[in-house]
Amino acid sequence: MVDDATTDDEGQQQGVYLVEGGSFERDQSYIDDRITADGSSGWPVEAGRYRLVVARACPWANRAIIVRRLLGLEDALSMGICGPTHDADSWTFDLDPGEVDPVLGIPRLKDAFEARFPGYPRGITVPAMVDIPSGGVVTNDFRQITVDMSTQWTAFHRDGAPELYPEALRDEIDDVARKVFEDVNNGVYRCGFAGSQEAYDEAYDALFARLDWLEERLATQRYLVGDTITEADVRLFTTLARFDPVYQVHFKCNRNKLTEMPVLWAYARDLFQTPGFGDTIDFLHIKQHYFLVHTDLNPSGVLPKGPDLSGWLTPHGREELGGRPFGDGTPPGPPVEGEVVPAAHSAG
């Protein structure tokens, strides 16, 4: 394995590795501390103590934005939003007045990592949970953050919050999510950052084989696991939302567009039109991040004008399959003030 020393998919100096044959391998070494209800981790769940730092451009952070919305954690867990473009050093708070996060008082997310781990050697990634009193990062393990929102923050869930990680379905959710991660969520990056034709072909074939598998699975059921929205749906959705605007062209995932896969396109529209999903998607930030930050893939820095986004709001017909999006719960209310995606950045 060779450390290529280039930036990873979110533009950070986090080891990107090319294995023999030029295959892309994501560095998955994250800070694995957890914020738990009983505090046994050393980080107890407390309203107002932590700040979730995200970027709307990032699919991994987008998961956390969606789960926080669905569960109604806005009052208990504040959110800082980084801009879509940055250098190789850190995500930055350039959307805020003075380019400083108003709660943490820092201009760069890296400052929170350094506050806890001086000389932090790995990538400065989002989402990240930051302890407000100390100013130090707690965790950037995107896989665990959303699960813990569902299982550890229950005291602060809104009335009517859905069960996104129901205990009886966890094994199946984990299995589906693992397949989706390997071949789709991470698979698009394996295509885009492949260092050889062989590695690209392998990733491309795995990606579209899994999308075909999903097309078949979702032809007869509205959601990926059970008859309600779960963590598995959240994890797939953020990749689907970026597929045609970015991955299809920028990462050479071009067997077909999402809009040309009838079942997945209807499924994606169904979720997009569900409160808590589409209202978190900032298509402009998404395109700015990938096309302006990945200068190795887009050296001209030209930002595409398309694609046409109006199709996201067309009828999807998935109600005919049954299912109840929120189970016995209810939809979340509208986004809180300061967290609304500008109309010009969305499909609305």
Report, as residue numbers or ranges, the catalytic residues.
58, 189
Q: For residue 199, what are its two tokens?
A: 């590695």
312 is annotated as contributing to ligand binding: no
Using CA atoms, how far residue 321 sits from 215, 220, 258, in Å, is 14, 7, 20
Question: How many helices (H) and strands (E) in the chain?
Answer: 10, 7
- What is the 3-class SS of 282-337, one letter each residue? CHHHHHHHHHHHCCCCCCCCCCCCCCCCHHHHCCCCHHHHCCCCCCCCCCCCCCCC
Distance (Å) of CA 78 to CA 7, 40, 54, 97, 229: 29, 23, 11, 17, 24
128 three-state secondary structure? strand
Question: Which are the contacts of 216, defined by CB distance < 8 A and separation ≥ 6?
Answer: 263
State the Cα–Cα distance between residues 324 and 211, nearest whole angstrom.
24
Q: Which of 283, 280, 287 is nearest to 249 (CA)?
A: 287
**How far apart are the C-alpha atoms of 287 and 302, rounded to whole Å?**
10
Name the nearest CA neighbour of 59 among 292, 225, 243.
243
DSSP 6: -
3-state secondary structure of 156: helix
Residue numbers belonging to the annotated binding site for glutathione? 91
Residue numbers belonging to the annotated binding site? 91
